Amino acid sequence: MTAPAQPVDLFDLVIFGGTGDLAVRKLLPALFHRFVDGQIQDGSRIVGVAREALDDDGYRQQVRATLNGAAQSKPDKLDAFLKMVHYRPLDARKDEGWDDFAKLMGECPSHVRVFYLSTSPDLFVDICQRLGHYGLNKGESRVVLEKPIGHDLASANRINDDVGAVFAESQTYRIDHYLGKETVQNLLALRFGNALFEPLWNAGHIDHVQITVAETLGVGRRGPYYDHAGALRDMVQNHMLQLLCMVAMEPPASLSPDAVRDEKLKVLHALKPIDEGNAAQLTVRGQYRAGAAEGQSVPGYIEDLNADSKSKVEKSNTETFVALKAEIGNWRWAGVPFYLRTGKRLAERVSEIVVAFKPVPHSIFTASAGPLAQNRLVLRLQPDEGVKLWLTIKHPGPGGLRLRHVPLDMSFVEAFGVQQPDAYERLLLDVVRGNPTLFMRRDEVEAAWRWADPILAAWAASGEAPRPYTSGTWGPSAAVALIERDGRTWDEDYE
């Protein structure tokens, strides 16, 4: 039996952008689930902030509509939760409304204060400056920054400098929700809680690593944002590099926030540069065309952009797919490729890390036993989180020795009989607890941009358009060639 989750201290959690997509789809349901589990005490407050002219009751109605599905079997809990919910209308860029908001904050001076900036990043500075003006950055006060943090190194530095003028680094939580996923935490437990893996976790025994983050959806209503970002900025620079760091980092001395983040930073510093000299060999960009997704015909990227924007876009050079081969220049990983690929409108929705071990040095089996496959450790982040270790065993029964490749399968839902909490549930409460281990430190964000910027510059200099791929496939054929040139294949063993 695991111990019940402990309640966190009383808090005021302010969601700037409280009516937006992220707040509605992720943050409010996450808080509700933690409340139902008894981790949020009565007396804590959740304050939505946006420009829309709502009062507390109007916002509560919106939140009720959002949570009705999740609260079906617990209507009394929903009523109790909604009592915690408040709303203040204000424009981050204008003075009106801030006095009233500051007054509300002043009612509970002993509460931990969390300001979650779930708005466009160009509002971060305005919001922080005003919070500073009202002294709301003092004491047990924290600010959470949503991605994207900048568009490149220079813009990330500007945001970090401006936010840093109000909130100390120790108060600043840069969220990457991939780090809150159960499987990612499990990577730490697997690597450092078992004697089995760590001796093999190096270039002597690992052949290569693959990280796939594949979506079946297109850009949807995020088109205008996405067209200025693209897959490298939207997925690789943050989520995928963070996953790579968790796989590749040295054992930290402890789980203290800086011990873990120091080790991740060393990995980012050790990434070999990809620039104009080698980007054409090591990277592939793609853009989806019309095709089929989940049995439905779907439009291409340009049509998706035009569905969302008033102006007619005829052409875009933005990539909706990236595959690349990264290498880490240190003793542990020398010569071990890390193949990363991510894209929209791909064949399946799946996020996985595959650690492929080297083949056995010599086979004692005859050809009739069948081929010997490599051991693979597969960490699935979505849709159903779990870990599989693929092993070779003997096919049961008489009939000669035939080999089979089977998984030791640990689906978390099956193993523990409960749906795993969403990453935001853990991360939001970690902010209240003041534990930044799973958040990105400023120097990590900068190091990630320092690696990504030359790739973006190389693509811009080449002037080449992204390669087209049909929706519902695994991206451009060049992405297959990228890995097959090395005698390897993408792991597509999804069920």
Residues of the shown chain interacting with ligand NAP in the complex, contacts defined by CB under 6 A: 17-23, 50-52, 91-93, 118-121, 123, 146-148
215 is in an annotated binding site: yes
Closer residue to ligand NAP in complex, CB, 31/248: 31
Position of minimal CB gap to ligand NAP: 20
Q: Is 182 labelled as part of a ligand binding site?
A: no
51 is in an annotated binding site: yes
Residue type present at position 373: A
- Phi and psi at residue 371, in whole multiples of 5°? -70, 150
Cβ contact 238:176 at 8 Å: yes
- With both helix axes pointing from N to C terminus, report the angle between 28-36 and 56-67 in degrees, rounded to the nearest 10: 80
Is 177 annotated to bind a ligand? Reply is yes
Query: Is 147 among the annotated ligand-binding positions?
Result: yes
User: Is 344 part of any known ligand binding site?
Assistant: yes
| Backbone Cα Rg of the chain | 24
When the beta carbons of 151 and 380 are compared against ligand NAP, the nearer one is 151
**The length of the chain, given as a count of residues:** 495
Nearest 5°: CA angle at 8, between 7 and 10? 115
Closest CA to 78 of 87, 67, 92: 67
From 86, 111, 151, 239, the catalytic residue? 239
Determine the 3-state secondary structure of 141 from DSSP: strand
CB of 144 to ligand NAP, least distance (A): 10
Residue 172: strand, helix, or coil: strand
- Minimum CB–partner distance for residue 450 and ligand NAP (Å): 21
Distance CA 312, CA 308 (A): 10
Q: Is 405 a catalytic residue?
A: no
DSSP output for 218-236:
--GGGHHHHHHH-HIIIII
Q: Find, among 339, 301, 303, the residue nearest to 319 by Cα.
A: 301
CB of 226 to ligand NAP, least distance (A): 10
* Amino acid identity for residue 488 in this structure: R
Minimum CB separation of residue 146 from ligand NAP in Å reads 4
- For ligand NAP, give the closer residue by CB, 267 or 305: 305
Q: Is 55 annotated as belonging to a binding site?
A: no
Least distance between ligand NAP and beta carbon 421 (Å)? 17
Closest contact distance (angstroms) between CB of 342 and ligand NAP is: 14
Residue closer to ligand NAP by CB (options 93, 138) is 93
116: β partners = 15, 144
Residue placing its CB nearer to ligand NAP in the complex, 146 or 422: 146
Phi/psi at 12 (nearest 5 deg)? -115, 120
Give the DSSP per-residue string, 11-72: EEEEEETTTSHHIIIIIHHHHHHHHHTT-S-BTBEEEEEESS---HHHHHHHHHHHHTTTTT
Complex with ligand NAP: residue 89 or 300, whichever CB lies closer: 89
- Which residues belong to the active site? 239
Question: Residues forming the annotated binding site for substrate?
Answer: 177, 181, 215, 234, 344
Question: Residues forming the annotated binding site for NADP(+)?
Answer: 51, 147
